[in-house]
Chains A and B, each alone.
Chain A
């Protein structure tokens, strides 16, 4: 079947809901479904939801071209410490790499700061006799008896999985591979993960951390995916389930079973990827995806349809929003900025007498005061309700009625009285402070990346983001906001429209002017052969595969590497001087882009070489609505809404988002209601519905 006729289904298992999307590419019809997540057996909601959506769309399981899956399985196993008993083998003399970590404190003042316990305790870490040099030379041969002894001891302690991380294995993996071979032969019951396969990159702590996390979750992920495959096969879906990796690419289950740690951010990656495809569809060069849910908000930069990525991620943070308080994972990830403020975030007065919002959250239980489920602390949702942005009678399409009096009471008690403000002013204060948290995060991120955030278009998802976006965008100086239709299941939609992507990396460290370029060419060739094979395994056609090469380079003496694209340079050339010149020019260009200017210094070092291989992007043609635009507006009423001290209370029209047709437009203030949220269009902003029924707002 050609890609244009495929029927694809996406399943995103989140903490509360499992979301489904089914896309018939031939017609562009999109079906959305939702089930409560079944934490005891996540597969149950998965299978029920697939049945339900297939029935609704009138297709059989056998007709599905692909099922793509995003899951919190990996991240939950790590955060809740529910992985398998795992051991670690390290080079002799380096048993304590995990305990020592980065030798730093993430909190300057609090000497009682918390750190996550290492995944593998010291008592399950063994040393093996061997040593590689930095250049891959063998300083000491592997003593296989020391391996046998170590594995035997760990087996006796009951480990089901062993991680192996030897010094400089990114440069010469021979000893790690020999250990894996030995274990497969002599200890086949124990799963084995080697660092040179999971994360062949310089820096032993980060690599060891990644390797043990992978070993920790691998047996359970293998098990889970093969059960899903078997259950779906019983329903005549005869293919493997595909998974979303943290890099925003769809992948075959084989990779998920080998390197499951790559699934750690699969849900958020799917959401960002969806935003990226919307940006592409709408021709937006610089987009900022803004997702605000119950406890957190997320921002993601997208340029030319590609989300920003990072090559390291942090999980299991002792303090969720503190950089450095978690465990590092060296994997390619879509880069998301997480902010500890969402609809459920609690407003309070701090010791200085200032108004703060979050990071404590009322969550779903007891929830905001207005839910009437026992919550008494005022939340952002309570403020949004008091300001008039949310209709208490039509929350979640009327499935839930909100208690406005309870919201007012909570705000008055906890904020209004202590600050001597009216309830509405206090609610506006909460609204303003939480918006400020988004603004500050966006500005800091832009500063780190040397971006001019005013050039960006905000693409808005999630329950609370459409309520706050108008104000956040205004403060950031952003001129346009896009609100895609059906933002409630964005990640599931992303799963239907993502392409397969594989990132591979290898560290080969050295000054640029003394590199062995034939070795570089060999490294790239090896990585590209492997990536191509993995993509084909995921169903990509060889002719569609595109490959990007890059390398992390720094000025000698600098601690920051920057990733430099080096595609298009012919590394098989024997003219070393010319290669040096070309790569240096690319580095200086990338450096100048980020830091304003390149430095007049010739000493540069290459660290890690990277390949990104991608299959064809599946077409994304939501069925365009061609209905005439000259129908009366789908106004459902008016409501008194507070737009801040400069506008005060405004009698604001309320429209039904679903009844708005392409071409319709108007001027704010206006409220456009959806089932899961309300889009707030600020005063004087111009709104319009585009051909795909997205809402565009110009400030």
Chain B
């Protein structure tokens, strides 16, 4: 019996089934993935599309932007490798930054799903892999220096792997076991989606998913349009300055709200830079704006592409938010993580009660590399120090919590068990959160000692050293980030330096911005912050005008 898609009960059940299938595919990916990136950092996505490449289901796990981008990437791949050239068992692959999520380590795999001879949909999966060759510091002048790039290719033909592609990949990356393991995990994940979708079709008698995706996308679009309609019409602008690579960069946007539509124009944004892989491809810029708007307007409805339809994003070609080939893009989050702040600062002018002040992001990352003292084995470890979240109307920001990224640091005990580093301190920094009626979250101080017995290197990717996370609606700015050697000696925040045996790096992550004027903060909350040591007595006086006995 054919299940009718017009029925809201069936629609709900089928959508839930599709999401459940993609979650199964995500489990397959996470379980089979080899590097830690997919599992530990959740840096992956899975989606199921109809035969046109329109998304019907997204995994509830992983990173949102990966899910947002996947169907776009699948459709872009299909423009290169048309559907009519595909046969059962084919698998397509690319890590081209301009097809996927903007840097080479993100691998995208898609597989056409056939039921008999009929193409009925596409399974997609993507993940950040451990290595792609190239330089490991974001100082490249061009993307060529950042590693190997595969344009859309057929990785499998009729179920047979292309041995040449695998051997080229194997020769060009450092930890090839892990990278090839992850690539195979992506393929396995697509196979799970494909076989389960066919099973669902057998069970329900559905032979075409396009009516389902049309119905779901139309409903989601309608909900999103209603949310946009509640925003007063107008043009809302914002400008955010970031540290940049060699010099500061400016991001700018004008968000035009008209009826149920939003147009974002990034004219005025700084041009792409070189050297410095902090450039963002359009796909990634687009998904970051969509993500920010969904956070603000409709965080609870499950994501699907209907949301993107009322939104247009324009960024001039060649600006740092629409970087053109062959711009270096490796560390594009250094810029892209500002996009939610840019969006919220603009929307604050229309709906301040719905947005959040700037977060202590982009996330600081410092890669320590050297050799173990006792046996000379090499090690490399990426230390993450999360900042504070911004405050919003009615709520203080969480301390030491990443946003928009969602990958924090592994436990101190795990780090010390695997690499010759001793964490001397990991503590909240008093007064680092922006003051306000609602206080920003606190950043942290991390003190990392080199206990390998050798000199090692530290390569840092740190922003917000000169540009603090700003407060909103009268809220105060948060404290900035910083990095020092042995307590007070300068250390490069964007680059590489040496850390001698027994020396230590002090890393400060930024706090989050405050929301609303600090004079309006509830006296009980100020008292509690003081008792908890989140603000000092001096700050209570200076920022909140409290006299403390």
Do A and B belong to a common assembly?
A: yes
Interface string of A80-121 (1 = CB under 8 A from B): 000000000000011111011011110111111001000001
- Say whether B12 contacts A356, CB under 8 Å: yes
Chain B residues whose CB sits within 8 angstroms of the CB of A102 once the complex forms: 408
B395 within 8 A of A: yes
The reply to whether the CB of A395 lies closer than 8 angstroms to some CB of chain B is: no
> Is B401 at the interface (CB under 8 A from chain A)?
yes
A684 to B389, CA, bound (A): 58
Residue from B16, B20, B399 within 8 A of A99 (CB atoms): B399
Q: Are B23 and A103 in contact (CB under 8 A)?
A: no
Q: Are B409 and A440 in contact (CB under 8 A)?
A: no
Q: Shortest Cβ distance from B42 into chain A, in angstroms? A: 8
Is residue A580 within 8 Å, beta carbon to beta carbon, of the partner chain? no
Can you list 9 A-B pairs with a CB-CB distance of less than 8 A? Answer: A93-B426, A109-B303, A203-B414, A206-B411, A355-B8, A559-B36, A559-B40, A594-B31, A599-B181
A128-167 at interface with B (beta carbon < 8 Å):
133-134, 139, 167
> Which of A133, A354, A432 has most chain B Cβ within 10 Å?
A354
Q: Is the CB of A168 within 8 A of B416?
A: yes
Give the CA-CA distance A373 to B485 in the complex, in Å. Answer: 69
Residues of A within 8 A of B544 (CB): none
A137 to B547 CA separation, bound complex (whole angstroms): 47
- Which listed residue (B31, B300, B423) contacts A110, Cβ 8 A? B300
Instruction: Kindly supply a per-residue 1/0 record for chain A positions 499-522, scoring 1 wherever the CB is within 8 Å of any chain B CB and 0 otherwise.
Output: 000000000010000000000000
Q: Across the interface, which residues of B come within 8 angstroms of A353, CB to CB?
A: 8, 219
Residues of chain B within 8 A of A557, CB atoms compared? 34-36, 130, 175, 178
Shortest CB-to-CB span from B397 to chain A, Å, is 9
Pick from B91-99, B262-270, B528-536 the stretch touching chain A: B528-536
Taking Cβ atoms with an 8 Å cutoff, the residues of A that contact B are 93-97, 99-100, 102-105, 107-112, 115, 121-123, 133-134, 139, 167-168, 170, 202-206, 349-356, 419, 421, 429, 432-433, 436-437, 439-440, 443-444, 447-448, 450, 509, 555, 557-560, 594-596, 599-601, 646
Contact partner of B301 (CB less than 8 A), chosen from A97, A204, A352, is A352
Q: Is B36's CB under 8 angstroms from A558's CB? A: yes
With beta carbons under 8 angstroms apart, the residue of B24, B386, B394 that contacts A443 is B24
Contact A96 B426 (CB under 8 A): yes
Tell me whether A354 and B356 are in contact in the complex, defined as CB-CB below 8 angstroms, given that A93-B426, A104-B407 are known contacts: no
Please give me the 4 A-B residue pairs with the lowest Cβ-Cβ distance, nearest first: A103-B408, A93-B425, A109-B299, A429-B9
Known: A103-B400, A108-B406, A109-B64. A96 touches B34 (CB 8 A): no
Q: How far is the CA of A564 from the CA of B219 in the complex (A)?
A: 47
Residues of chain A within 8 A (CB-CB) of B329 are none
Q: Is the Cβ of A93 less than 8 Å from the Cβ of B447? A: yes
Q: Are A103 and B409 in contact (CB under 8 A)?
A: yes
Do A447 and B24 touch across chains, with their CB atoms under 8 A apart? yes
B residues in contact with A448, CB < 8 Å: 27, 31
Among B405-443, those with CB < 8 Å from A are: 406-409, 411-414, 416-417, 422-428
On whether A111 and B389 interact (CB within 8 A), knowing A122-B533, A353-B219, the answer reads: yes
> Is the CB of B367 closer than 8 A to any CB of chain A?
no
Q: Which residues of A contact B295 (CB under 8 A)?
A: 109-111
Residues of A within 8 A of B482 (CB): none
What residues of chain B lie closer than 8 Å to A96, measured between beta carbons?
399-400, 426-428, 444
B294 adjacent to chain A (CB < 8 Å): yes
A447 with B427: in contact, given A204-B412, A353-B8 (CB under 8 Å)? no
CB nearest to A106 among chain B residues = B406
* A600 surroundings in chain B (CB, below 8 A): 177
Q: B residues within 8 A CB of A444?
A: 20, 23-24, 27
B9-40 CB contacts (< 8 Å) to partner A = 9, 11-13, 15-17, 19-20, 23-24, 27-28, 30-32, 34-36, 39-40
- The dominant DSSP class at the A interface is loop
The answer on a CB contact under 8 Å between A436 and B399 is no
B16/A133 in contact, CB under 8 A = no
Tell me if A202 and B417 are in contact (CB < 8 A). yes
Contact A436 to B400, CB < 8 A, known contacts A202-B417, A204-B412, A444-B23: no
Chain B hits for A202, CB < 8 A: 411, 413-414, 417
Please name all residues of chain B whose beta carbon is closer than 8 Å to the beta carbon of A594 when the two chains form the complex.
31
Q: B402 in the interface, Cβ–Cβ < 8 Å?
A: yes
Minimum CB–CB distance for A502 against chain B, Å:
25
Chain B residues with a Cβ under 8 A of chain A: 1, 8-9, 11-13, 15-17, 19-20, 23-24, 27-28, 30-32, 34-36, 39-40, 63-64, 130, 175, 177-178, 181, 192, 216, 219-220, 223, 291, 294-295, 299-301, 303, 356, 384, 386, 389, 392, 394-395, 398-403, 406-409, 411-414, 416-417, 422-428, 444, 447, 531-534
CB <8 Å contact, A134 and B416:
yes
Which residues on the B side are within 8 Å of A352 (C-beta)? 216, 219-220, 223, 301
- For B356, give its contact among A99, A111, A440, A646 (CB under 8 Å): A111
Distance from A416 Cβ to chain B, minimum over Cβ atoms (Å) = 11
Q: Which residues of A contact B40 (CB under 8 A)?
A: 559
- For B303, what are the chain A residues with a Cβ–Cβ distance below 8 Å? 109
With A99-B400, A559-B39 known to touch, is A436 a contact of B411 (CB < 8 Å)?
Answer: no
Q: In the complex, which residue of chain A has the Cβ closest to the Cβ of B397?
A: A111
* A509 in complex: contacting residue of B417, B424, B427, CB < 8 Å: B417
Chain A residues with CB under 8 Å of B301's CB are 350-352
- With a cutoff of 8 Å between Cβ atoms, the chain B residues found around residue A103 in the complex are 384, 386, 400-402, 408-409
Give complex CA distance A658, B427 in Å.
63
In the complex, chain B residues whose CB is within 8 Å of the CB of A123: 531-533
Distance A110 CA – B395 CA, assembled complex (angstroms): 12
B413, A354: Cβ atoms closer than 8 Å: no
- Shortest CB-to-CB span from B400 to chain A, Å, is 4
Contacting pair A436 B181 (CB below 8 A): no
Residue pair A419, B402 in contact (C-beta under 8 Å): no
Contacting residues, chain B, for A595 (C-beta < 8 A): 31-32
With A202-B417, A555-B34, A560-B30 already in contact, 7 other A-B pairs whose C-beta atoms are closer than 8 Å: A96-B427, A96-B444, A97-B426, A103-B401, A109-B303, A440-B17, A447-B192
Expressed in whole angstroms, the Cα–Cα distance for A444 and B31 within the complex equals 13
Taking the closest CB of chain A, its distance from the CB of B204, in whole angstroms, is 11
- Contact A433/B13 with A100-B426, A100-B444, A352-B301 known, Cβ cut-off 8 Å: yes
**Given A123-B531, A557-B35, residue A104 in contact with residue B9 (CB < 8 A):** no
Select one of B1, B13, B130, B401 contacting A436, CB under 8 A. Answer: B13
Contact in complex: A93, B424 (CB < 8 Å): yes
How far, in Å, is A224 (CB) from chain B's closest CB? 31
The residue among A139, A352, A437, A447 with the most chain B CB atoms within 10 A of its own CB is: A352
Tell me the complex Cα distance, A167–B403, Å: 28
Query: B177 to chain A: which residues have CB within 8 Å?
Result: 599-601
Which A residues are CB-close (under 8 A) to B34? 555, 557-558, 599
Nearest B-chain residue to A555, judged by Cβ: B34
Given known pairs A107-B299, A352-B223, A595-B31, the reply for A100 and B412 (CB within 8 Å) is no
Chain B residues with CB under 8 Å of A94's CB are: 412, 425-427
Chain B residue numbers with a CB within 8 Å of A167 are 412-413
Task: Pick from A102, A103, A139, A596 the residue with the most CB of B within 10 Å.
Answer: A103
Complex interface: chain A residues within 8 A of B31 (CB): 448, 450, 560, 594-595
Whole-angstrom CA separation of A216 from B438 in the bound complex:
30
Do B426 and A351 touch (CB < 8 A)? Answer: no
**Distance in Å from the Cβ of A206 to the closest Cβ of chain B?**
8
Q: Is the CB of B8 within 8 A of A110?
A: no
Shortest Cβ gap from A601 to chain B (Å): 6
Residues of B with C-beta under 8 A to A108: 63-64, 406
Partner of B399, one of A100, A204, A439: A100
Q: Chain A residues with Cβ under 8 A from B384's Cβ? A: 103
* Cα of A110 to Cα of B297 in the assembled complex, Å: 10
Query: Are A355 and B9 closer than 8 Å at their CB atoms?
Result: yes
Residues of B within 8 A of A203 (CB): 411, 413-414
> Closest Cβ of chain B: how far from A247's Cβ, in Å?
24
- Shortest Cβ distance from A320 into chain B, in angstroms? 16
Residues on A with C-beta less than 8 A from B130 are 557
User: Once bound together, how far apart are the Cα atoms of A534 and B423, in whole Å?
Assistant: 37
